[in-house]
């Protein structure tokens, strides 16, 4: 998937942690990025990459795509792609994404009230 020019990275711009990390990658890549914070819960729960043909990848796979296409991060994409690390990364990402999702939902509900 490296250098597949049709991928658009969908991320929650309203999440301060997500936004901080993605802004770093924006400076080092030519990828397209889109704020997905208003697209619904599906896109709040994980990082997504959407392709022109309608395919989507999410979570660790999406990060591997971003890292593969971001200057200085190709090594990380290869490292996390190793079978044992990939499995561990998926478990860790699921946990962290769950925490960030609920942190975002609770924080935004507080702001809306």
What confidence tens digit (pLDDT) does each residue in 66-105 have? Answer: 999 999 999 999 999 999 999 999 999 999 988 888 887 7
Residue 61 pLDDT level (bands cut at 50, 70, 90)? very high
- What are the residue boundaries of the structural domains of the chain, listed by start? 8-112
The per-residue pLDDT for range 17-53, each reduced to its tens digit, is: 888 999 999 999 999 999 998 888 889 889 999 999 9
How many Å apart are CA 4 and CA 64, to the nearest integer?
13
In whole angstroms, what separates CA 67 from the centre of its chain?
A: 10
Contact 11, 35 (CB under 8 A): yes
Contact 97, 85 (CB under 8 A): no
The pTM of this model reads 0.86
How many Å apart are CA 42 and CA 77, to the nearest integer?
24
Per-residue CA distances from 35 to 9, 28, 31 (Å): 9, 18, 13
List, in order, residues 6 or more apart from 49 with CB less than 8 Å away: 7, 8, 9, 10, 56, 57, 58, 61, 62, 65, 66
Which parts of 5-82 fold into alpha helices (H)?
Answer: 16-28, 41-44, 60-68, 74-80
């Amino acid at each position: 998937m490296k250098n597949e020019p049709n991928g658009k990275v969908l991320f929650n711009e309203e999440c301060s942690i997500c936004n901080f990390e993605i802004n770093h990658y924006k400076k080092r890549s030519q990828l397209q990025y889109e704020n997905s914070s208003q697209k619904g819960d599906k896109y709040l729960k994980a990082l997504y990459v959407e392709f022109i043909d309608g395919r989507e990848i999410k979570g660790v796979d999406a990060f591997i795509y971003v890292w593969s296409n971001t200057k200085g991060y190709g090594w990380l994409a290869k490292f996390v792609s190793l079978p044992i690390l990939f499995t561990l990364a998926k478990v860790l990402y699921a946990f962290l994404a769950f925490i960030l999702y609920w942190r975002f939902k609770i924080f935004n509900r507080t702001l809306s009230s």
